Structure 1
Amino acid sequence: MSDDQTVISRARLVPVKGILLADHVAEGFEAVSAFRPLPSDILIAAYPKSGSTWTQEIVDLLLHDGDAEICRRAPINERTVLLEATTVVRRQSGLDQLKKMDPPRVIKTHLPLQMVPAGFWDNKCKMIYIARNAKDTIVSLYYYQKMNTFSPEPGPWDSFIHKFMHGELGWGYWHDHVKGFWEEREKRNIHYIFYEDMKENPRREVERLAKYLDLSLSDDVISRIVELTTFKNMKDNPMANQSSVPKEIYNQSISKFMRKGEVADWKNHFTPEQAAEFDEDYEKKMKQVDMPFRTQL
């Protein structure tokens, strides 16, 4: 694919219910909104580049008693389906994929809370939300949009920071996204995970996830799952690292889908001036909520 074709194929952002979505996602949103999940469906929600792929792999292993071979049966995006995926970037839409899957189905979404199909709440589906500190999220998202030729053009780093701060990227403001699920977590039985907690003590978080999913697994199985889902092992696992996505879509010569997986990589990207401006904006948007985000460990 030539550079010209790549530029032409990049998504445009259009507003849907006040939230900017990629045009191909917006076109299918009405059908996604009407989706009726099964009570046994499990939803993993996250703002993009917050650790949802990591969480998907852990959940798949938990559901299959830590059996690594079963969890290599297909690439991650076929084992757990992105609800709003479209045929523009996949062979079939997320909704079509789900019709062919046996329960319990694990579903992923980047939609903010107010756009999650009502059926998930009506059927009291298990719901997991993974949140990552804003600074590391924006760095990871920047590299992702550079390598993902169907995402909107990220532009230069400095302007990308401002787009993030002003809610001009897809899926709405990061701040509203993480707050929306946080504030409803108890009322709606949402299992809320912080990326930094997963990095600090993965065993504790895997055990918490197992308990939430009503699974009783041996210590050995938990240990195996923790080991199988280290960043290095997932990066080397072709069924987890998205290497099966055609290079016309994910150009991993620009940046790997699984790039670093670190906490505090933002320090290698933000200038002191950018960090100060970002922190001031962050304080304004997050002052009404007490969320234990950490930008370093």
Structure 2
Amino acid sequence: MSRGYFQHGGVTFPGLLYSPRGLEAARDFPVEDDDVFNVTYQKSGTVWMLEILSLIRQGGDPRWCRSVPNWERGPWLETLLGLRRARGNARPRIISSHLPLHLFPRAFFGSKAKVIYTVRDPKDVLVSLFHFSRIFRPYKDPGSLEEFMEKFLQGDVPFGSWFQHVRGWLQLRGRENFFWISYEELQQDLRGSVQRLCSFLGRPLSPAALDAVVANASFVTMSHNPMSNFSLSPAFILDRRRGPFLRKGISGDWRNHLRISGDWRNHLTPEQSRRFDLVYRQQMEGLGAN
């Protein structure tokens, strides 16, 4: 069960995994110039990108991904346990984070460390986060999708507003150590996306190695890899009886209006979609991130 939420820097966090002390420690994290940060708003492809980065780091060799849990390969910056792991990991380090820009390590902004920021259609983020909140014990029960959507639009969810998170991070567009990509791009052209990532990271791969990254970063491969699918996560964190961590890995899930006995199950109605679009236009006006 959730232990309740707290506010830090104007953002909501669940108390089971996070603490003000840990978040302050993250702000003071000693960043190295060869660090690679895998940053997202939650449910935007974090685990997928971590798998891709892990495979690029190993030249396409999947043995690291098959033998070391992903939370050790790319530990979470905002937890005390993740911070300890990150400090102890061999360089070049991969470090994952859902932190908004204003809570990120201060040292990053004067470093050559790289951030890869993945953005996903917020309607798909909403639906994925709704399902995730039902199995992730640190989070409160989401209630109905309609209730949860209103909280999401108001930013009244863990890690705060999707709109503010994306607007904050996309301020860094144009910096040579910042790379952003969409979840949808990864799905439409994974090989081309991996090539672009390799170029950004300065780690060119042979055609065979590229093929290996693409094959081993597929949703099917990841969902069957216990080091990547969170099946090793303790029961006090994930209630896997209510669903898998890696649920579908698709785009447009919010559009799949499965209507059963007059009830819209787990997806947005046309009215909800229009309401979401209105808030999106208001919040993202002028950003040019479409």
Aligned equivalent of 1:18: 10
Cα distance per residue 1:77-133 (max 9 Å; x no partner): 1111001124xxxxxx11111232111110001001111111112222011001101
Give the counterpart letter for 2:4 in structure 1.
R
State whether structure 2 residue 183 is matched by structure 1 residue 195. Answer: yes
Counterpart selection for 1:285 from 276, 279, 283: 283
CA distance in 2, matches of 1:209, 1:215: 8
- Conservation of the 8 A alpha-carbon contact between 1:64 and 1:71: no
Cα distance, 1:170 vs structure 2: 1.4
What's the TM-score, normalizing by structure 1? 0.90
Aligned equivalent of 2:264: none
Q: Residues 262-273 of structure 1 correspond to what in structure 2 (within 5 A)?
A: 262-268=250-256, 269-273=267-271
Cα distance, 1:184 vs structure 2: 1.4
Cα distance, 1:156 vs structure 2: 1.8
Instruction: Identify unmatched segments of 5+ residues in structure 1.
Output: 1-5, 87-92, 293-297
Q: Residues 1-297 of structure 1 correspond to what in structure 2 (within 5 A)?
A: 6=1, 10-23=2-15, 24-27=17-20, 28-86=22-80, 93-187=81-175, 189-268=177-256, 269-292=267-290
Cα distance per residue 1:67-86 (max 9 Å; x no partner): 11132221111111001124
- Conservation of the 8 A alpha-carbon contact between 1:45 and 1:127: yes
Give the counterpart letter for 1:12 in structure 2.
G
Instruction: Identify unmatched segments of 5+ residues in structure 2.
Output: 257-266
Give the counterpart letter for 1:60 in structure 2.
S
Cα distance, 1:178 vs structure 2: 1.1
CA distance in 2, matches of 1:81, 1:48: 15
Cα distance per residue 1:28-48 (max 9 Å; x no partner): 211121111221111111000
State the percentage of identical aligned residues: 33
CA distance in 1, matches of 2:174, 2:162: 20
Give the counterpart letter for 2:13 in structure 1.
L
After superposing on structure 2, the runs of 4+ consecutive aligned residues of structure 1 that deviate more than 6 Å are: none
Give the counterpart letter for 2:284 in structure 1.
M
* Alignment length (residue pairs): 278
Cα distance, 1:188 vs structure 2: 5.9
CA distance in 2, matches of 1:159, 1:19: 20
- Conservation of the 8 A alpha-carbon contact between 2:14 and 2:138: no
Aligned equivalent of 1:3: none
CA distance in 1, matches of 2:85, 2:163: 31
CA distance in 2, matches of 1:74, 1:37: 23
Query: Equivalent residue of 1:14, what SS?
Result: strand
CA distance in 1, matches of 2:172, 2:87: 29
CA distance in 1, matches of 2:36, 2:177: 12
Aligned equivalent of 2:261: none
- Conservation of the 8 A alpha-carbon contact between 1:136 and 1:264: yes
